[in-house]
C-alpha cells in the first residue's frame, strides 16, 4: 500500500473515533439535561447552556458525517 492510502485510512479511523466521542458526549449532555429539567428548582440559564452545547455538538457531528 502506498503512503497516501495509509494516511487516508488513518484519517478515516480518526474521524470515526471522533464521531463516537461526539455521540457519547451528546448522550451524557442529554442525560444531564433531562435531569436538570426534572428538578423542582430548575436553573433555566444552565438548561439553555446545555441545549446550546448539545446543538453545537450535533452540528459538528453532522459536519463529521459529511466529511466521512
pTM of the model: 0.77
C-alpha cell at 22: 461526539
* Spatial CA neighbour of 19 closest among 53, 55, 67, 52: 67
> Is residue 32 over pLDDT 90?
yes
pLDDT at 1 over 70: no
43 in the Ramachandran plot: left (φ > 0), alpha (ψ -120 to 50) or beta? beta
Q: What is d(CA 17, CA 68) in angstroms, rounded to the nearest whole number?
A: 11
Distance from C-alpha of 44 to C-alpha of 33, rounded to nearest angstrom: 11
Tell me the per-residue pLDDT of 39-63, one tens digit each, with 9 for 90 and over.
888 789 999 999 999 999 999 999 9
Cα distance between residue 57 and residue 25, in whole Å: 8
Amino acid at each position: 500500500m502506498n503512503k497516501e492510502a495509509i494516511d487516508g485510512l488513518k484519517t478515516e479511523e480518526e474521524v470515526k473515533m471522533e464521531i463516537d466521542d461526539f455521540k457519547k458526549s451528546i448522550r451524557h449532555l442529554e442525560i444531564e439535561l433531562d435531569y436538570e429539567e426534572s428538578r423542582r428548582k430548575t436553573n433555566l440559564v444552565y438548561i439553555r447552556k446545555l441545549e446550546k452545547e448539545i446543538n453545537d455538538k450535533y452540528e459538528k457531528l453532522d459536519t463529521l458525517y459529511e466529511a466521512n
